[in-house]
Amino acid sequence: MAEGIRIEGLPELKKIMEKVGSLKPVKRALAKGATHLRGEIRVYPKQRPSVNPKWFYKRGEGSIYLPTGKTYKTSEKHSKSWTGKSSHGGLTWTIGSNTSYGRFLQDERRQTVYHQETGWKTTEDVVDAEERDVVRFVQQEVNRALEGR
């Protein structure tokens, strides 16, 4: 009569399952994905065509606020304003910018014609373009955990 079944490597398997069960690999991958998206969203357009912003002001019917005769010497530094914050134990990430004019630069519904013409990517465009990479980050981390790395 058999005395039992011995499973080789059970302690290692237990560690792997604890790691995967705690969702640590997924959380790590989501943080990596959020950092990646933030990096892509914050890129300024490479080329700015020479256009008259007043034309876009008229065409946009006042949706862009331009200074009238004044030059502003400061900026809210839109690119550097992008941040990421996790919630739900690291399973949800929110990426955002708190500049007052950011929605006119990069929001799909509010982007002005001028900023569209000058090459600003919307946040929605960036998310659509980078979705596969973020999914790949999660898959790679889970696979590493399952392999015991």
Which tens digit of pLDDT belongs to each residue from 103-133? 888 999 998 887 888 888 999 999 999 989 9
User: 143 is in which domain, residue-wise?
Assistant: 121-149
User: Residue 33 domain-assigned?
Assistant: no
User: Residue 143 domain-assigned?
Assistant: yes
CA dist list (Å): 143 to 18, 31, 91: 14, 17, 18
User: Residue 44 domain-assigned?
Assistant: no
User: Residue 59 domain-assigned?
Assistant: no
H-helix segments, the chain: 10-21, 24-41, 53-59, 78-81, 102-106, 113-117, 123-146
Instruction: Give me 111's structure tokens.
Output: 């982007």
The reported pLDDT for the residue numbered 3 is 60
Q: Which one-letter amino acid corresponds to residue 18?
A: E
If you average pLDDT over residues 91-113, what whole number do you get?
88
Q: 43 in helix, strand or coil?
A: coil
User: Into how many domains does the chain fold?
Assistant: 1
The reported pLDDT for the residue numbered 6 is 57
This prediction's pTM = 0.70
> pLDDT digit string (tens) for 4-40?
545 677 677 777 777 777 788 888 888 999 999 999 9
Instruction: Write out the H or E segment, with its range, that includes residue 95.
Output: strand 92-96
Neighbours of 111 (CB within 10 A): 22
